[in-house]
Amino acid sequence: MRVLCCVKRVPAPGAKINVTADGLAVDAAHLGFTTSPHEECGVEEAVQIAERTGGEVTVLTLGPAEAAEQLRYAASVGAHLGVLVSTDGAAWDPQRTARALTAAIESLEAGSGAFDLILFGNESADSGGFQVGVRVAYALGRPIVNGIKGIEVDGPVVRARREIDGGFEVYEMDLPAALGVKEGINLPRYPTMRGRLASKKLEITTLVLDAAGGDQALVRLHRPTETVSQTVILGDGPDAAPAAVDVLEELGLV
Amino acid sequence: MLLVVLEHDRGTLGEPAREALTFGRTLAAKMGVEMHALAIGAGAPATEQVAAASGDHGAARLYTVDHDLLSDFGPEAWGQSLVQVINTLQPGAVLACGSERGNEVMAQAAARLDWPFVANCTDIIPPAGGGGQWSMTRIQWGGSLLEDATLTTGTALLTCGLHTVASAPVEPAPVAPPETQAVAVELDAALARTVVKDRVVLEAGVTLPTAPVVVGGGRGVGSAEGFAPLEELAELLGGRVGCSRAVTNNGWRPHSDQVGQTGTRIAPEIYIASGISGAIQHWVGAMGSKHILAINIDPEANMVVKANWAVIGDLHQVIPAISAEIRRRRDRP
Ligand SMILES: Cc1cc2nc3c(=O)[nH]c(=O)nc-3n(C[C@H](O)[C@H](O)[C@H](O)COP(=O)(O)OP(=O)(O)OC[C@H]3O[C@@H](n4cnc5c(N)ncnc54)[C@H](O)[C@@H]3O)c2cc1C
């Protein structure tokens, strides 16, 4: 089975997210970068499916040249091929991103046939537009369901589970199909030494293609107003237990 | 007209639908238009209840769409239905709640129309004088960051961020339910491919999003076994255990316990956050808590700084001591 997973490179902020002076991006000067969490799980899922079915995993990202780091990471945990649609690094609107990814997938499939399964993250960790996967799948004529936390491939059919309050829904589609997956679908493995070495040798296919911009434009990023709390320190160590239980008692919980 | 897409599960209207109507009321007023509601596939038996609820929340009219393919949720069939309703009714804007289903159905419609769609808005300003440019503020990073954006479009496709507003009926209540009107759609039978096939019900009882008390543990707990005292305290308080991503990444707890941007948003009476530093992605899942008690060895930890109360110390000693104190007080005659 040939599985494609689309991933996004995002900064990994800690206690606070800072914005650049022009307000157009997260200030990543002192930050590391990572694969958006849903997609990290997407890569793991793709690798597991390929391991079970003896298949091949391609990872596709749209981003700056540095996004090759995320492709190499994917290779270090078992992906076979990496494709970069290279941009200037500025944030692309959802329509433009979807158009470029569609064109990239069409060009990959023109060479080697349709991917059996395409995985997207349910939404990217940063801009969170909740639409790129759906747009690409629709443009390619594939069915897609979002919010997926379980995938089972059974011959020509894929069964997918979506979490709902107190249980899950089951969807069943013929391949080729696409799914938007969420963190929790699996526990991504850590790269092994061998995987790290192999990832250095990963040959990355770079596609240079542009797409028409959409109609949504970013004006400015800003932090929401923070609620400032005057923390009451109840004490140090186990001796503070009675004071803590006083608090719980006040809330009517004891 | 502003068209609000109602989220429902086989005819039962959910809280997201009421939120969308509540948010939509303000937006329709800003647009200077009526708010109408749309129920896709709620089925005839439910129409009365859906009509009453949409009227109570300010909808002047309810449109219903019925079709064999709409007896259960299916993102493609719902998206395709919405496209046809938009073509028939020509609304000025379409709004849904930014729940999982809401965003998905809007994305499906937007893809089919090749129109823009702006997800998870917290504030929307329609163009002055009819046509032109919309402005909005929307959620990025699960709420850690906001984006001001503009949108140039005919009919705007929008969702409001989940829990951006608390749902509220109009006052005084309308005297009669809104007029109901059926809209016909034609759907390709192939769209059955993404209709819900089956459902599995797992747990009854207190779930993490609704738990009145959440006892959270982070990397500071140190191991899967280390959670036993947290389980015990949660049980004593009728609550649930939650955790940080550091914990799920280590395989100490299942992902269903994770609080945060890529986990669950909690809203308990009190969140007891132990051994958790309070990274922004964790905080956005925890900030809906009414009160927070942090337990941490580091008095400077973000979680301590943001909490109402804090105990500075080793959670492995503090948590059992709290449980023991609760028992002691309960056993007191
Ligand atoms: C895109 C993205 C999405 C993310 N989504 C989530 C999410 O949904 N949820 C989430 O939680 N994280 C999420 N994260 C990860 C997040 O950034 C942090 O890495 C994570 O929350 C840290 O978990 P922690 O607080 O348990 O660990 P740490 O940050 O390592 O903190 C451990 C804390 O425990 C304290 N401690 C240590 N020992 C003890 C002890 N014995 N007693 C008391 N205190 C002790 C320390 O002082 C410290 O404050 C996300 C990250 C990214 C990039």
Classify the C-alpha dihedral A131-A135-A138-A142 as positive or negative.
negative
Instruction: Test A220 with B207 for CB contact under 8 angstroms.
Output: no
Cβ–ligand 1 contact at B316 (below 6 Å): yes
Query: Is residue A75 included in any domain, yes or no?
Result: yes
d(CA A26, CA B145) in angstroms, rounded, equals 9
pTM value is 0.95
**Position B202 in a domain:** no
Which of B277, B293, B311 gets mutated to test ligand 1 (max ligand atoms within 8 A of its CB)? B277
The answer to the question of residue A102 being in a domain is: yes
In a domain, B129, yes or no: yes
Q: Is residue B159 part of a domain?
A: yes
Indicate if B275 and B305 belong to the same structural domain.
Answer: yes
- Residue B153 maps to a domain: yes
Q: Do A134 and B73 touch (CB under 8 A)?
A: no
Q: Do B178 and B80 reside in the same domain of the chain?
A: yes
- Containing structural domain, residue B105: 2-194
Question: For the segment B297-310, what is each residue's pLDDT rounded down to a tens digit?
Answer: 999 999 999 999 99
pLDDT value of position A158:
98
* B200 assigned to some structural domain: no
Q: Give a yes or no: residue A197 inside a domain.
A: yes
Residue B225, classified by CB atoms within 10 Å of its CB into exposed (0-12), middle (13-18) or buried (19+), is exposed
Pocket lining: A12 vs ligand 1, CB cutoff 6 Å? yes
Domain shared by B219 and B184, yes or no? no
How many whole angstroms separate alpha carbon A5 and alpha carbon A178?
10
Distance CA B241, CA B236 (A): 12
Q: Which domain holds residue A145?
A: 2-207
pLDDT of residue B130: 60
Query: pLDDT > 70: what percent of chain B?
Result: 99
DSSP three-state, residue A9: strand
Q: Is residue A251 part of a domain?
A: no
* Ligand 1 binding pocket includes A133 (Cβ within 6 Å): no
Tell me which residue has its CA closest to atom 35 in ligand 1: B275
B128-159 per-position pLDDT tens digit: 876 689 999 999 999 999 999 999 999 999 99
Answer whether A125 contacts ligand 1 (Cβ < 6 A).
yes
Distance CA(B134)–CA(B154), nearest Å, equals: 10
pLDDT category of residue B106 using cuts at 50, 70 and 90: very high
Contact at CB, A184 and B256, closer than 8 angstroms: yes
**Domain boundary, last residue among B133, B167, B194:** B194
Q: Flag whether A202 is in a domain.
A: yes
Distance (angstroms) between ligand 1 centre and the Cα of B222 equals 12
Whole-angstrom distance, CA of residue B169 vs CA of residue B161: 19
Q: How many domains does chain A have?
A: 1
| Tens of pLDDT, residues A144-187 | 999 999 999 999 999 999 998 878 999 999 999 999 999 999 99
| In-domain check, residue A128 | yes
Interface ipTM? 0.96
- pLDDT at residue A14 is higher than 90: no
**Segment A218-237, tens digit of pLDDT:** 999 999 987 777 999 999 99
CATH number of the domain enclosing A21: 3.40.50.620
Flag whether B208 is in a domain.
no
Could you tell me if A129 and A138 are in contact, meaning their C-beta atoms sit under 8 angstroms apart?
A: no
pLDDT at residue number B131:
66
Name beta bridge partners: A169. Answer: A162, B199
Domain total of chain B:
2
Same domain assignment for residues B326 and B252:
yes
Q: Do B175 and B144 fall within a single domain?
A: yes
| CATH number of residue B275's parent domain | 3.40.50.1220
Best A40, A158, A245, A249 member to test B by mutation, with max B CBs in 10 Å, is A245
Residue pair A123/A182 in contact (Cβ under 8 Å)? The answer is no
Q: Is residue B238 part of a domain?
A: yes
Closest CA–CA distance from residue A207 to any residue of chain B (Å):
24
Regarding beta strands B291-296 and B270-274, do their DSSP bridges make them parallel or antiparallel, or are they unpaired?
A: parallel
Residue B186 belongs to a domain: yes
Amino acid at A183: E
